Amino acid sequence: MLFRDWLAEAVARGVAERHAMTLATVDPDGLPDSRTLILKDFSDTGWSFAGHRRSAKGIQLAAHPVAALSFWWQPLVRAVRVRGSVHEAYAEESAADLAARSPAARTGIAAGDWVLWRVVPERIEFWQGAQDRDHLRLVYRRGEQGWMHAVERTENGSEEKEMR
């Protein structure tokens, strides 16, 4: 998985806060709402993050279970965008995530109020910046028959797309 490779390179190159990401949800008025969180894990089941069920993000996700994630690794001039539906992990997984936090970070959290969510991607974009501004985008979209892949280059204001 390309994300695993890019994250491993960010780790190897010492990128600060390489697990930090922006999570965007939809508020009650239908407007985007974003905040910075830490990626807990990622796998074939999705990209995971956690928080209080009664937080703004928890309330928004309960009403509109969709989200977008954005990672920016400035020293590598790389970004990753993930967009899809959001599902709660099993209660046991959420409890295990809470138990892994420090005792101080668990203080005041009622049983069942801590949730581990997963974004199940419908679209993933890998963006590689270039000094000559000939940026490269690798876009993956989930289709009925699996993932479709597009390569997009922006050169002199025009876009070139190739679907596979």
Q: Indicate whether 95 belongs to any domain.
A: yes
Supply the CATH number for residue 74's domain: 2.30.110.10
Q: Indicate whether 115 belongs to any domain.
A: yes
Q: How do residues 23-70 score in pLDDT, each as one tens digit?
A: 999 999 999 999 999 999 999 899 999 999 999 999 999 999 999 999
What's 74's DSSP letter?
A: G
Q: How do residues 83-141 score in pLDDT, each as one tens digit?
A: 999 999 999 999 999 999 999 999 999 879 999 999 999 999 999 988 887 789 999 99
Q: Indicate whether 81 belongs to any domain.
A: yes
Angle at 152 between CA 10 and CA 31, to 5 degrees: 75
Tokens 């991607």: give the residue.
121
Instruction: Note down the domain range covering 62.
Output: 2-123
Rounded Cα–Cα distance for residues 106 and 64 (Å): 27
**pTM attached to this predicted model:** 0.88
Please tell me whether residue 141 adopts helix, strand or coil conformation: strand
Please give the tally of structural domains in the chain: 1
Q: Indicate whether 140 belongs to any domain.
A: no
Tokens 């074939």: give the residue.
44
Q: Which residues touch 7 (CB under 8 Å, ≥6 apart)?
A: 18, 19
